[in-house]
């Protein structure tokens, strides 16, 4: 039996994504991101949302999507979502509609998807004129190895501190 | 989960905590009918509710317990320790089942048939008259109505008279509130405070009388609201006390000791999070008291003490802080044994130990890896414990102290801030990022113009040092250590430095801007940032920006500094594991290279030859109002041959000599004359070549030359004791022939 569920949709790097509408707390205009030094590349920093400090996930970086059409920060939107790890802010390009999707139209993620995207996509939904990628939030907040390791230079041994 | 079940678990768990305490009391006073009634009621309520909710295992278990208890109520049976043991086991089992229910919503797989059997056995053995409940175990538990009318709904809290819940205050007029709701209230109030601050500032600029009055009102209300919300988070320490009688009973019974627990100040309040945080440390300290504080009964009698030991726990407020004292009347800590153990473990040297005061030696019990328990028991003696206690207490901004009198007992004193919610911190900016440095770690703020900065700081290969009031401190830069982007190179013409203290060591941090001191509300960082390990949290500031709170000890460690606490930990593995250390590299008079760990270096000096004086056959000099011994490193290292190894290097400046002022963990500083200061080196040490002479830890290659790392504590102690032959002195006395 087909189950209908509501999905909040958004666009990022030209791709149409959906997440369960129930897990979206709110969508924000761009708020200043306070950088966290030495943090993984996919996590540019934290924001102050009415006194709550929330981590920001750069979805483009996380999914290793192209940067070519990257918007200016002021044009970026933020979707605050509830995950098992607490609230998380996703950087997105543009907010789409809330769609009432029939689970009968779900298909498993295609082999042709980029591995990084495929790993966090739970379903693909064929809409009339485009594809909707349904993201798995639980998987999304488990950062893969490449995203965890921050760029760090190794300190050479035996460096001279001062010479008097 | 069903809210009915949730309430049941919550209330039953609370009641069980009280049960522990009541059983221990009842054991001391088995005829106390009031206590027995209260215990019976609690078990009965649990049984009644779980029948209602369909938890069969729990029902069977509590039923068996209830039957046993009802015999006791009828006076057919008196509680003794073996019965208490089984009943306490039942309490534990019930707790376990409740935990399963809380987690999964159903009872776990574990079977409790043995325990039910044990409960029944106790009862059957003593059965004299067929009490109404005594026949119950034979029947299937479901069908057996208990002698008391079952409660209509699970409302166990109502059955407990207010007097038994000292912390709950009056029963009517209190409601249960979810902790997360309190947390979010605290958050919102903090935000409100910040908004108020902004309004206050703006309204004072408008000169609008009406607005000012309104904002003033808002100001007062906000402050009161904040106080109230903080108050709502306060909990009486009696919550912690509830767990203690059972703990003392179980542990002392295991060890065959007899111990009385006395608690005082149960209504002293503390922030809920902090109360939670001190639970484990306090439990550990009490275990310690029971295990190696209080002596065995025979031993106590022979030393003229009452057979039963006493552990006193006292809580009180003083100086705006929460204090908790745990004192026992046991044997006290054997300082000699602590000392021997610490020496045997390589934590301190014999020479160091000799100079240490009793209090300093006693403080060693907080060092990792030390346990003075003769036997390793299940309770203590594994060498982990007091160091963890110290770490935990310090993490919440508290302090721990231990005092002990041989033969009379030990007293552990905890001092904790009342609330964790806000701390006072200095905010600084580097490359546009705001950081908060806790006020408690702050030593001094410095600002140098470029000339002064050049004089005060030295840098080679990007690693730097600060001369601060003559002391030599490692200087770290937030920008380079944290690899901050510096698109706009900040240049105010001034060098701003914050001197901090972490785990007993001072160091300096260079920042772009020193903002100001403010009260900040600590908020946790998401788990994604935990692995960076340099920030204890974040805080929102008055202007809406966000500051990261620096973990100064981790920051220092990451930058390669050895902190005091690490030295103990590293001692044992220095030959195998890699350790990072910072050393001052010097050359002695004949070009040998010696490395002095930077932790004990106070100052690097160029001193005038005319300041040398002699006293008692040794060289001394007046230095900053003190008379300090002056010695040459090679005279202490006991290798006579070095005197013939090569030509002495001429002084850097005529009429002057170079010296390193060093200070050990105690005692006066000592001045060591050296030939040259070659530099300050940050090393990753993998392996040291074993030492060839006394006072040397080992040698290694630094910049293609062999250098010996000195054990300064030993050398300083020898100078202090006058235990060396000043070769230089002899030649000075020979007069001008020396060529000096």
DSSP structure class, residue B293? I
CB A162 within 8 A of CB B678: no
SS3 label, residue B182: helix
Q: Give the integer Cα–Cα distance in Å for B718 and B697.
A: 16
Q: Give the integer Cα–Cα distance in Å for B316 and B325.
A: 9
Q: Please tell me the predicted confidence (pLDDT) of residue B158.
A: 38
CA distance B602 to chain A (A): 16
Express each pLDDT in B562-591 by its tens digit.
444 444 444 443 333 456 677 888 888 777
Express each pLDDT in B341-365 by its tens digit.
888 877 777 877 887 778 778 888 8
Mean pLDDT of B458-464: 59
Q: Please tell me the predicted confidence (pLDDT) of residue B638.
A: 63
Q: Which residue has the higher pLDDT, B642 or B683?
A: B683
Which of A33, A36, A47 to probe the B interface (max B CBs under 10 A)? A36
CB A59 within 8 A of CB A12: yes
H/E segment holding residue B596: strand B593-597
Indicate yes or no: CB of B548 within 8 angstroms of CB of A54. no
Q: Is B545 on the interface with A (CB under 8 A)?
A: yes
Enumerate the residues of chain B whose CB falls inside 8 A of the CB of residue A41. Answer: none
Residue from the list B433, B534, B679 with its beta carbon closest to the beta carbon of A162? B679
What is the tally of helices (H) and strands (E) in chain B?
Answer: 22, 29
- Is the per-residue pLDDT at A128 higher than 60? yes
Indicate yes or no: CB of B190 within 8 angstroms of CB of A85. no
Which chain B residue has its CA at the smallest distance from A32's CA? B545
Q: Is B706 on the interface with A (CB under 8 A)?
A: no
CB atoms within 10 A of CB B223: 12
Express each pLDDT in B646-685 by its tens digit.
556 666 677 888 888 888 777 788 898 888 777 777 676 7
- Is the per-residue pLDDT at B264 higher than 90? yes
Burial of B71 (0-12, 13-18, 19+ CB in 10 A): buried
Q: Which residue has the higher pLDDT, A47 or B734?
A: A47
CA distance A138 to chain B (A): 14
Q: Give the integer Cα–Cα distance in Å for B689 and B64.
A: 69
Q: Please tell me the predicted confidence (pLDDT) of residue B422.
A: 66
With CA atoms as reference, report the closest residue to B142 among B68, B51, B53: B51
Express each pLDDT in B29-42 by its tens digit.
888 888 888 888 88
* Residues 6 or more apart in contact with residue B595 via CB below 8 angstroms: B583, B584, B585, B586, B681, B702, B707, B708, B709, B710
Helix-, strand-, coil-residue percentages of chain B, each rounded to 5: 45, 25, 30
Please compute, for residue B312, the number of CA atoms within 13 A of its CA located in the half-sphere on the CB side. 12
With CA atoms as reference, report the closest residue to B266 among B596, B18, B560, B451: B18
Q: Which residue has the higher pLDDT, B718 or B503?
A: B718
Beta-ladder partners of B523: B538
- Residues 454-493, chain B, touching A (beta carbon < 8 A): 458-465, 474, 482-485
Q: Is A163 on the interface with B (CB under 8 A)?
A: yes
Enumerate the residues of chain B whose CB falls inside 8 A of the CB of residue A32. Answer: 545
Mean pLDDT of B406-426: 82
Mean pLDDT of B130-159: 42
Mean pLDDT of B67-79: 82
Q: Please tell me the predicted confidence (pLDDT) of residue B357.
A: 78
Per-range mean pLDDT, top range of A15-24, B4-13, B656-665, B705-714 = A15-24
Q: Is A39 on the interface with B (CB under 8 A)?
A: yes
CA dihedral B594, B598, B603, B607 (to 10 degrees): 10
Mean pLDDT of A94-103: 88
Express each pLDDT in B380-396 by its tens digit.
443 447 777 887 787 77
- Is the per-residue pLDDT at A40 higher than 80? yes
- Residues 55-114, chain A, touching B (beta carbon < 8 A): 55, 85-86, 88
SS3 label, residue B257: coil
Lowest mean pLDDT among A118-132, A135-149, B212-226: A135-149
Q: Is A148 on the interface with B (CB under 8 A)?
A: yes
Lowest mean pLDDT among A117-126, B534-543, B627-636, B684-693: B684-693
Mean pLDDT over each residue of chain B, to the nearest integer: 77
Q: What are phi and psi of B213, to 5 degrees?
A: -65, -45
Enumerate the residues of chain B whose CB falls inside 8 A of the CB of residue A40. Answer: 528
- Residues 575-604, chain B, touching A (beta carbon < 8 A): 582, 604
Residue from the list B560, B679, B703 with its beta carbon closest to the beta carbon of A164? B679
DSSP structure class, residue B529? G
Indicate yes or no: CB of B528 within 8 angstroms of CB of A40. yes
What is the tally of helices (H) and strands (E) in chain A?
Answer: 4, 13
Q: Please tell me the predicted confidence (pLDDT) of residue B647.
A: 58
- Is the per-residue pLDDT at B225 higher than 70? yes
Enumerate the residues of chain A whose CB falls inside 8 A of the CB of residue B523. Answer: 52-53
**pLDDT tier, B155 (very low <50, low <70, confident <90, very high otherwise):** very low
Indicate yes or no: CB of A162 within 8 angstroms of CB of B460. yes
Residue from the list B463, B482, B604 with its beta carbon closest to the beta carbon of A38? B482
Q: Please tell me the predicted confidence (pLDDT) of residue B437.
A: 92
Beta-ladder partners of A88: A81
**pLDDT tier, A11 (very low <50, low <70, confident <90, very high otherwise):** very high
- Residues 651-680, chain B, touching A (beta carbon < 8 A): 676-680
Tokens of B369: 């890896």
With CA atoms as reference, report the closest residue to B706 among B591, B577, B560, B575: B591
**Vertex B68: Cα angle to B65 and B70 (nearest 5):** 105
Residue from the list B523, B677, B683 with its beta carbon closest to the beta carbon of A158? B683
**pLDDT tier, A147 (very low <50, low <70, confident <90, very high otherwise):** low
Q: Please tell me the predicted confidence (pLDDT) of residue A157.
A: 29
With CA atoms as reference, report the closest residue to B600 among B555, B553, B667: B667
Strands, sheet with B676-685, edge to edge from the N-terminal-most edge strand: A159-162, B676-685, B579-587, B593-597, B705-710, B696-702
């Amino acid at each position: 039996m087909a189950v209908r569920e509501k999905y909040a949709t958004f666009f990022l790097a030209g791709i149409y994504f959906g997440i369960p509408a129930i897990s979206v707390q709110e969508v924000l205009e761009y708020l200043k991101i306070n950088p966290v030094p030495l943090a993984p590349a996919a996590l540019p920093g934290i924001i102050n949302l009415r006194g709550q400090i929330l981590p920001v996930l750069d979805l483009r970086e996380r999914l290793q999507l192209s940067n070519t059409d990257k918007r200016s920060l002021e044009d970026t939107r933020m979707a605050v979502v509830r995950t098992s790890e607490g609230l998380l802010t996703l950087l997105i390009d543009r907010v789409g509609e809330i769609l009432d999707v029939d689970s009968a139209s779900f298909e498993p993620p295609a082999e042709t998807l980029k591995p990084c995207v495929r790993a966090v996509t739970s379903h693909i939904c064929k809409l009339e004129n485009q594809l909707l990628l349904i993201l798995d939030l639980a998987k999304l907040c488990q950062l893969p190895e490449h995203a965890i390791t921050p760029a760090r230079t190794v300190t050479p041994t035996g460096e001279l501190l001062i010479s008097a | 989960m069903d809210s009915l079940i949730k309430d049941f678990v919550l209330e039953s768990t609370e009641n069980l905590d009280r049960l522990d305490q009541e059983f221990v009391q009842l054991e001391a006073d088995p005829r106390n009918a009031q206590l027995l009634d209260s215990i019976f009621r609690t078990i009965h309520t649990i049984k009644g509710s779980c029948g209602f909710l369909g938890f069969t295992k729990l029902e069977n278990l509590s039923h068996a317990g209830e039957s046993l208890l009802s015999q006791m109520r009828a006076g057919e049976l008196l509680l003794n320790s073996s019965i208490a043991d089984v009943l306490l086991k039942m309490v534990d089992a019930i707790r376990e089942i409740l935990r399963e229910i809380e987690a999964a919503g159903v009872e776990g797989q574990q079977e409790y048939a043995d325990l039910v059997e044990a409960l029944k056995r106790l009862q059957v053995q003593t059965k004299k008259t067929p009490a109404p409940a005594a026949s119950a175990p034979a029947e299937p538990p479901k069908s057996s109505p208990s002698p008391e009318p079952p409660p209509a709904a699970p409302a166990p809290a109502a059955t407990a008279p207010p007097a038994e819940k000292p912390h709950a205050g009056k029963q009517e007029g209190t409601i249960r509130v979810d902790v997360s709701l309190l947390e979010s209230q605290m958050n919102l109030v903090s935000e409100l405070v910040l908004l108020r601050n902004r309004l206050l500032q703006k309204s004072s600029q408008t000169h609008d009388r009406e607005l000012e009055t309104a904002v003033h009102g808002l100001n007062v209300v906000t402050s009161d609201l904040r106080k109230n919300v903080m108050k709502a988070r306060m909990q009486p320490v009696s919550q912690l006390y509830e767990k203690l009688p059972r703990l003392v009973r179980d542990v002392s019974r295991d060890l065959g000791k007899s111990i009385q627990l006395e608690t005082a100040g149960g209504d002293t309040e503390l922030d809920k999070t902090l109360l939670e945080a001190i639970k484990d440390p306090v439990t550990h300290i009490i275990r310690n008291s029971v295990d190696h504080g209080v002596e065995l009964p025979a031993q106590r009698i022979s030393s003229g003490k009452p057979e039963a030991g006493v552990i006193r726990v006292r809580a009180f407020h003083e100086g705006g802080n929460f204090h908790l004292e745990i004192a026992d009347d046991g044997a006290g800590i054997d300082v000699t044994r602590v000392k021997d153990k610490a020496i045997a473990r390589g934590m301190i040297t014999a020479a160091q130990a000799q100079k240490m005061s009793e209090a300093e030696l006693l403080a060693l019990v907080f060092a990792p890896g030390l346990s003075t328990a003769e036997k390793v028991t299940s309770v203590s003696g594994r060498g982990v414990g007091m160091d963890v206690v110290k770490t935990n207490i310090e993490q919440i901004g508290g302090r721990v102290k231990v005092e002990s009198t041989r033969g009379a007992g030990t007293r552990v004193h905890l001092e904790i801030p009342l609330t964790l919610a806000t701390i006072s911190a200095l905010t600084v900016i580097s490359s546009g990022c705001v950081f908060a440095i806790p006020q408690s770690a702050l030593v001094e703020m410095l600002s140098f113009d470029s000339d002064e900065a050049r004089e005060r700081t030295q840098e080679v290969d990007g690693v730097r040092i600060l001369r601060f009031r003559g002391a030599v401190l490692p200087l770290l830069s937030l920008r380079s250590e944290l690899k901050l982007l510096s698109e706009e190179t900040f240049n105010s013409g001034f060098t701003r430095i914050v001197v901090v203290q972490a785990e007993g060591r001072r160091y300096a941090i260079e920042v772009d801007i020193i903002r100001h001191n403010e009260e900040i509300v600590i908020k946790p960082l998401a788990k994604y940032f935990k692995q960076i390990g340099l920030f204890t949290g974040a805080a929102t500031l008055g202007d809406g920006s966000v500051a990261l709170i620096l973990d100064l000890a981790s920051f220092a460690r990451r930058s390669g500094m050895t902190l005091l606490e690490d030295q103990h930990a590293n001692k044992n593995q220095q030959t195998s594991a890699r350790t990072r250390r910072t050393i001052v590299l010097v050359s002695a008079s004949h070009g040998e290279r010696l490395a002095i760990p930077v932790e004990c270096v106070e100052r690097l000096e160029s001193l005038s030859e005319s300041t040398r004086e002699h006293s008692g056959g040794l060289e001394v000099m007046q230095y900053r109002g003190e008379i300090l011994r002056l010695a040459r490193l090679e005279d202490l290292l006991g290798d006579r041959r070095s005197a013939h190894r090569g030509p002495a290097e001429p002084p850097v400046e005529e009429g002057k000599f170079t010296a390193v002022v060093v200070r050990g963990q105690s005692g006066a500083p000592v001045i060591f004359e050296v030939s040259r200061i070659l530099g300050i080196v940050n090393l990753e040490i993998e392996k040291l070549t074993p030492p060839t002479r006394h006072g040397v830890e080992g040698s290694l290659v630094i910049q293609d030359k062999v250098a010996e790392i000195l054990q300064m504590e030993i050398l300083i102690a020898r100078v202090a004791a006058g235990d060396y032959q000043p070769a230089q002195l002899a030649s000075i006395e020979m007069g001008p022939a020396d060529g000096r």
